[in-house]
A and B are shown apart, each in its own frame.
Chain A
């Protein structure tokens, strides 16, 4: 039990910041949002870490496709980072729904997926994804691409 306690103490800060939103209360000036949707815990954490380090946005992450879409409809994020294989509703379907909805005309969507098959990428761009990133990725390239999108949006 001893060693577990030591990890508990050590992880205090790093742990709290991952899946929860980062600072900024909603009642005062709402911060711009980024929504990360991935069913894999580690990918979600990793992307969240990369993005939160670079950009001053409120970051939320979801694992289930349907939940993610519900959340997005309520909060209209600036950017959605979407995995393709998701429980509930897959990335393509979410993207399609987002594009059909007028509310989201300012929202950028990035597809992230382990699939590197060209037809998937094509299908993604057919549905007007703004960017398609395949796993595994280089962190620097990943953030660079996100930055390009966000500056374009601003």
Chain B
């Protein structure tokens, strides 16, 4: 049985602890809120003060201050640097042109670079992450920083590796950027959204780098990485219109080793080829249609064949209208009805033919149920057409 003394002691102990906890909570709340208020006011003043100085500097109005002069005004508190960089980054989001360039040069000032380099070499994950975020904005990475970033980008901590890989994208050396990208894509724990984000950071959007980016992406596609990651890369190439990669993607689709794991990639390739208007691909796409019955792949094929256009492709789609599953039927109808007018003509012709064939059907040779099913399908298709036509009309009115 329980011992009375122990019971009493534990009760008293707990109560004392509770009381202490209670007062600690009140004290903690009071103190931290005061502190927070102080820092908030401090930050506000700090921002107000540097706001005018920075803008004068950016616009080159006011007293001619050099970057060094401004940075000398910052006290040596750690928080000041963070506040300053935050303010710069925020202004950077609003301003454009020469003003933005001047502010950017401030961000890259050696004082900050060395401040964040120290942070990068600290052991705490938080410091490393802050440093990575800083270096993502900076362009001049020295060798020590680069080497450390590469090590960090191999970290088991996914977020840290992600941050470091993004930071490495501001390296000048192209091969470092590319291998960082590839290293990250080889991981198994990354989400598809991370891939998309990283691709956008990798691709600077500069016209002179475009060829290089396309080549690099092709190269990555040939490596052994998760097909879902490849799917995102392919989609990116498609909607960013890497026309020069069209032939490559076409050959890729032709040769792809077919298994269900690669369904998303096949779908992505078909979509991308449509966006790149690589019309040669139509035969391969149609052969996929015949071979396999994956709905997502067929949906992508419909979109792409419709983009390619041409009577052959359109009648191919029409052929499959009657015997397709609902989502496919819907997609075909929308592609036929909401695009150019001659497709509607084709569609009407098709309906007329179907109706004519109805009269030819020997009712006795089919069971009632079969016939009902057939009629239901036609009914469903016509109502689909009606709705799609309505949408077309509404759109042209709006």
Contact = CB atoms under 8 A, between A and B. Distances in A.
When A and B assemble into the complex, do they touch directly, with CB atoms less than 8 Å apart? yes
Given A3-B77, A8-B45, A46-B55, A136 B95 contact: yes
Contacts of B77: 3
A139 B99 contact: yes
A129 B270 CA distance: 41
A139 B49 contact: no
Contacts of A154: none
A11 B42 CA distance: 12
Contacts of A15: 45, 48-49
A31 interface: no
B69 interface: no
B93 to A, nearest CB: 6
A42 B94 contact: yes
Contacts of B42: 4, 7
Contacts of A45: 51
B59 interface: yes
Given A4-B42, A49-B55, A135 B49 contact: no
Contacts of A43: 94
Interface string B40-70: 0110011111011001000100000000000
Nearest to B77: A3
Given A42-B90, A42-B91, A46-B94, A136 B100 contact: yes
A137 B75 contact: no
B100 A7 contact: no
Nearest to B99: A139
Contact of B48 (A14, A114, A137): A14
A139 B59 contact: yes
Interface in B84-98: 87, 90-98
A138 B95 contact: yes
Interface string A38-55: 000011011001000000
A136 B45 contact: no
A4 B49 CA distance: 11
Contacts of B75: 3
A109 B93 CA distance: 23
Contacts of B55: 46, 49
Dominant SS among interface residues on chain A? helix
A18 to B, nearest CB: 8
Which of B49, B55, B87 has the most chain A CB within a 10 Å cutoff?
B49
A137 B46 CA distance: 24
Contacts, number: 60
Interface in A71-109: none
Interface residues of A, number: 22
A117 to B, nearest CB: 15
A10 interface: yes
A10 B77 CA distance: 18
Contacts of A140: 97
Interface in B170-203: none
A138 B49 contact: no
Nearest to B87: A42
B91 A46 contact: yes
Contacts of B94: 42-43, 46, 135-137
A145 to B, nearest CB: 13
Interface string A107-122: 0000000100000000
A63 B48 CA distance: 18
Given A3-B77, A10-B49, A138 B97 contact: yes
B110 to A, nearest CB: 23
Which of B41, B51, B87, B98 has the most chain A CB within a 10 Å cutoff?
B51
Interface in A1-49: 3-4, 7-8, 10-11, 14-15, 18, 42-43, 45-46, 49
Nearest to B58: A139
B97 to A, nearest CB: 4
Interface in A115-154: 135-141
A100 to B, nearest CB: 20
A11 to B, nearest CB: 5
Contacts of B93: 114, 135-136
Contacts of B96: 136-138
A8 B41 CA distance: 10
Contacts of A14: 48-49, 51-52
A135 B52 CA distance: 20
A131 B77 CA distance: 43
Interface of A: 3-4, 7-8, 10-11, 14-15, 18, 42-43, 45-46, 49, 114, 135-141
15 contacts: A3-B75, A4-B42, A7-B46, A14-B51, A15-B45, A15-B49, A42-B51, A42-B87, A45-B51, A135-B93, A136-B92, A136-B96, A137-B96, A139-B59, A139-B99
Given A15-B49, A42-B87, A135-B94, 13 more contacts: A3-B75, A3-B77, A4-B42, A4-B45, A7-B46, A7-B49, A8-B45, A42-B90, A136-B92, A136-B94, A136-B96, A136-B100, A138-B95
